Structure 1
Amino acid sequence: MNDKISDMLAVAAARAEPVVRGVADGQLGARTPCADYDVRDLLNHLFHVVVGFQSLAAGKEADFSTTPDYLKGNWRDRFGAETALLVTAWAAPGADEGTKGSMNLPARTVGSMALLDLTVHAWDLARATGQDFTPDEEGLRALGALVTQMGPTARQMKVLAEPCPVVEGATPFEELLASTGRRADWLPDQL
């Protein structure tokens, strides 16, 4: 089992990138399972997380108070380049040590937060745009622990929605989705 954050981020990025590339321009206004975002907003949010968490890996601050529009020019290629920079930043010596950001969270927790966004939001985008997405099993184990640990605080801060019921026989990924307030059976035509 490999539990190095940079390695898990590399796998998550490799699984998220084809989903991002597969979003057609005509789908940017579509709804997503993440109720606060349409596809365009969610792509911009995911880009902003990827860029911001590069700074956090280097021990710098990241500003998440506003989200720029990243969907200009050749944004699909740029997403791949930015996720590669994210992985490199978290692979740097010492990136996964100490505390990060203004909340002074353990570096591993912060890196896992980026992993959560790359995994869950890739699924959100895939569901909204009719694509397939399969998460990484090792990453799921780390994410389950993260949501158990940080979920109550994240819900108070309105970063995560209240959990959804878990259906009998749910997969570990379906359980993770439910813990983040998502229904695994969500379809684009649901209101």
Structure 2
Amino acid sequence: MTNQAPPRIADLLQTAAAQAVPLVEGVDDAALGAPTPCADYDVRALLNHLFAVVVNFQALAAKRPADFSETPDRVGEAGWRARFGAETGELVAAWAAPGADEGTTGAMGLPARTVGSMVLLDLTVHAWDLARATGRTFEPDPAVVEGLAEEVARMAPTARKMSVFGEAVELSGRATAFDRLLATTGRDPRAWA
């Protein structure tokens, strides 16, 4: 029996983007001030954060430095919904480039696959955040959840120390794989049902 290679980050990103982009495009202007499961962000701030992530992780895929020092208000720009879709397409293309998920990247010199998993996690979990904040449902593709589970479990202790994740939430044994992923990041899917 041979070990099957994990799916490429670019393929998982393409799947996640196909679900996230319509959610972002469907955000009504009236919802921009609504709270989200991310206590630090309302919908507008979360969208701007997601924009910054999508743009900066394009650079990281190309082994270039990223600048997370500021988060421009892209939601204040004309055509921001279409631009998010275009930037997300560029993100997928950047991670599909030969060698993007090999070696190391970023200021911390992390494995490129780990860095790719970070943007995949942001795209997936923040899509859920946006859906919940705007009264919609979201269930990511099971392949994306499976592709993230091991990496998220591995990065969780460090992410908690850096205040990127909250404390893990205890769930019942009947929780879905995605509910468990959300709980690992400190989100309680029951609170936003």
Alignment of 1:168 onto 2:170? no
C-alpha RMSD of matched pairs (Å): 1.2
The alignment status of 1:40 with 2:62, answered yes or no, reads: no
Q: Following superposition of structure 1 onto structure 2, how do residues 16-165 of structure 1 map, counting pairs within 5 Å?
A: 16-71=20-75, 72-165=77-170
- Aligned with 1:3 (options 3, 7, 23): 7
SS at match of 1:182: coil
Indicate if the aligned counterparts of 1:59 and 1:95 stay in contact, CA closer than 8 A.
yes
Q: Which has the higher contact order (CA 8 A, sep 6+)?
A: 1
**How far apart in 1 are the matches of 2:38 and 2:72?**
19
Q: How many residues align?
A: 188
Q: Matches of 1:64 and 1:144 in 2, distance apart?
A: 25
Q: In the alignment, is the contact (CA less than 8 A) between 1:32 and 1:127 conserved in 2?
A: yes
The 3-state SS of whatever aligns with 2:78 is coil
Q: Distance in 2 between matches of 1:99 and 1:65?
A: 21
* Shift in Å, 1:146: 1.4
TM-score if structure 1 supplies the norm length? 0.95
Q: 2: distance between equivalents of 1:75 and 1:53?
A: 18
Q: TM-score, normalized by length of structure 2?
A: 0.94
Deviating 4+ runs (over 2 angstroms): none
**Cα contact 1:22–1:131 (8 A) shared by 2:** no
2:140 maps to amino acid = P
Q: Which blocks of at least 5 consecutive residues in structure 2 are unaligned?
A: none
Cα deviation, residue 186, structure 1: 2.5
Q: Secondary structure at the match of 1:35?
A: coil
- Structure 1 portions without partners, runs of 5+: none
